[in-house]
A and B are shown apart, each in its own frame.
Chain A
Amino acid sequence: MMRNYWEIYKKFVSTSTTMAMSFRLPFVLLIVMDLCFYFTSLLTIDFIFNHIQHMGPWNRDQLMFFMAFMLLLDNLHMTFVSESFWELSMMLKTGQFDYVVLRPMNTLFSTFFRFFRPSTMLNFPIAVGVLIHYGLKIGLAPSAWALLPVFVILSFILLIQVEFIITTSMFWVIDGLGINFLRMQFQKLARWPNFVYASMPRRVFTLIFPILVIGSAPVSFLIDQSKWYWPLGLVTSIIVLGFVLSFLWTTGIRRYESASS
């Protein structure tokens, strides 16, 4: 079964690449757009730290490492899933989602992994390079380097779970475009470490809707490995949100009324 899905995914990648290559200027502009975003995000922290020594418990390099970690997640997100959210809102509005429901495969898979952005993948080495650069600057321990790829994958899973859950609400509204903007706001919240937020929002976005766990959990643990509760929280969040997503998605699919029928 896994092999079948892998073969299907290869076809998704192949068709997405063919489509992307037929519009060359947007292909290049997407790379530029991501680079602008990386550059301004890092410069923001750099400019702030020209005037302060610490932000919460972290210094400049530690916060830069956090931002580099979030930028790498953003790169993976942009490459593998981001286009699907916009397509879903359109499919639900026009009734094109019928074809997704009819296909003999998992609907979550065919909805969210159908579109792939090859252009943003070209920025992957840059995002990894920045992360390694700041990892070296903060003197990550060898065990932290070994765990880093695992945490990138786990955080990416949690990020897309949170976003899939938000997106499920599109089944309950007429136009899902606004939901996509709401989803992007949650991304913005996660781009700063949890200690930045006041007590109440920090608790809500850590314990109830764990958007702040995405970046703060792995980076806090990689910097200080005595904070074992962070990775535990990350894994627990993934398991719990997995169940929540499964329930909400099934309910949403049942609620779906084809716009074309």
Chain B
Amino acid sequence: MNSIPKWLETIRISISKVMAYRLNFLLQIIGPTLVFFFIKYNLWSSIYQGDRTILISGYTLTAMLAYHTWGLVVELLASGFTAMNLSEDIRLGRISTYLIYPFNFWEFHTASFIGFQITQVFIALVTFGAVALSGLIEVPMFTLLVKGFSYTLFISFLWFVMNYGIGLLAFWLEDTWILKVILMVISSFLSGAILPLDLFPAGLVEVLKWTPFPYLSYYPIKIFMGVEPNYLFAIGVMTGWMALITYCNHLVWKKGMKLYTAAGM
């Protein structure tokens, strides 16, 4: 209970930091997502040649655009956090501070992530309002909306633990950004963020079901679209992966601390 004020203060500072560099925030977090959506919107409009009656893998043009519009909301809500400072903290020896302070490394970065997420929820809600007004999506029922938002917030934690784990590898690696880019490239393809998984070969989709990827984009989009996927199965798989990655992170941290020399102290 004593640590709650520390959490709240770190969350507050994290929000201030995000808002202090507004141009950078706009260009780094919101810009890429909007451009990604702009490309997909144009690409699919061009593929369908504006014909709203053509069906591609069960999708009309309207459904395909709705899929990618929900993809925009999901991406803003779930996958913006990059944990960039985390590996820098390790590489530059700044974690020594956390070893002395009564607020440890994972607590600080998790609280920072929550602060970041609060701004992202606001941005995602504004985006949702804008796209709903533009008629790109049908506004789903309130319960569905709550379900979609809560599921997407849940997967944002999975993104966080994955990024956290990669950041911890800075104990051994000079730069961890390469691993982050590899994760981003593979996950945006296999999660259905670029193409709906319905366009993938059936065998590949069957294999992907057991990986965390489809649950990062495809599933939350489908929830928002009112197509009820196997919700409990998805939550189960995600929880399993999150537990496994969190445990691995714990082991990596313990092993990394044995190597840590507090360079520069």
Contacts and interface: CB of A to CB of B under 8 A. Distances in A.
Given A40-B186, A48-B195, 20 more contacts: A23-B174, A26-B178, A30-B178, A32-B182, A33-B181, A36-B185, A40-B185, A40-B188, A47-B201, A56-B46, A177-B28, A178-B23, A178-B24, A178-B26, A178-B27, A181-B31, A185-B32, A185-B35, A188-B39, A201-B42
Interface residues of B, number: 37
A43 B189 contact: yes
Contacts of A26: 173-175, 178
A181 B27 contact: yes
B45 interface: yes
Contacts of A36: 182, 185-186
A196 B42 CA distance: 6
B194 interface: yes
Interface in B182-196: 182, 185-186, 188-189, 194-195
Contacts of A209: none
Interface of B: 21, 23-28, 31-32, 35-36, 38-39, 42-43, 45-47, 56-57, 172-175, 178-179, 181-182, 185-186, 188-189, 194-195, 199-201
A50 interface: yes
Given A37-B185, A55-B47, A177-B24, A47 B199 contact: yes
Given A40-B186, A181-B27, A51 B199 contact: yes
A29 B179 CA distance: 7
A151 to B, nearest CB: 23
9 contacts: A23-B174, A36-B185, A36-B186, A50-B201, A51-B56, A51-B199, A181-B32, A195-B46, A197-B42
Interface string A43-57: 110011011100110
A175 B28 CA distance: 12
Interface of A: 23, 25-26, 29-30, 32-33, 36-37, 40, 43-44, 47-48, 50-52, 55-56, 173-175, 177-179, 181-182, 184-185, 188-189, 192, 195-198, 201
Contact of B182 (A29, A55, A188, A195): A29
Contacts of A173: 23
A246 to B, nearest CB: 25
B23 A188 contact: no
Contacts of A37: 185
B182 A33 contact: yes
A192 B43 contact: yes
Nearest to B48: A52
A44 B194 contact: yes
Closest 7 CB pairs of A and B: A178-B27, A178-B24, A185-B35, A40-B189, A29-B178, A196-B46, A23-B174
Nearest to A179: B27
Nearest to A196: B46
A37 B183 CA distance: 11
A29 B45 CA distance: 36
Nearest to B189: A40
A184 B33 CA distance: 12
B185 A55 contact: no
B28 A44 contact: no
B229 to A, nearest CB: 20
B55 to A, nearest CB: 10
B56 A175 contact: no
A37 B189 CA distance: 10
Contacts of B38: 189, 201
A44 B185 CA distance: 12
Contacts of A50: 199, 201
Contact of B31 (A40, A43, A175, A185): A185
A198 B41 CA distance: 10
A188 B35 contact: yes
A51 B39 CA distance: 19
Most A CB within 10 A of own CB, among B24, B31, B38, B188: B24
A29 B200 CA distance: 27
Contacts of A48: 47, 195, 199
B151 to A, nearest CB: 25
A50 B201 CA distance: 9
B46 A47 contact: no
Contacts of A47: 195, 199-201
Given A192-B39, A196-B42, A197-B42, A52 B178 contact: no
B252 to A, nearest CB: 15
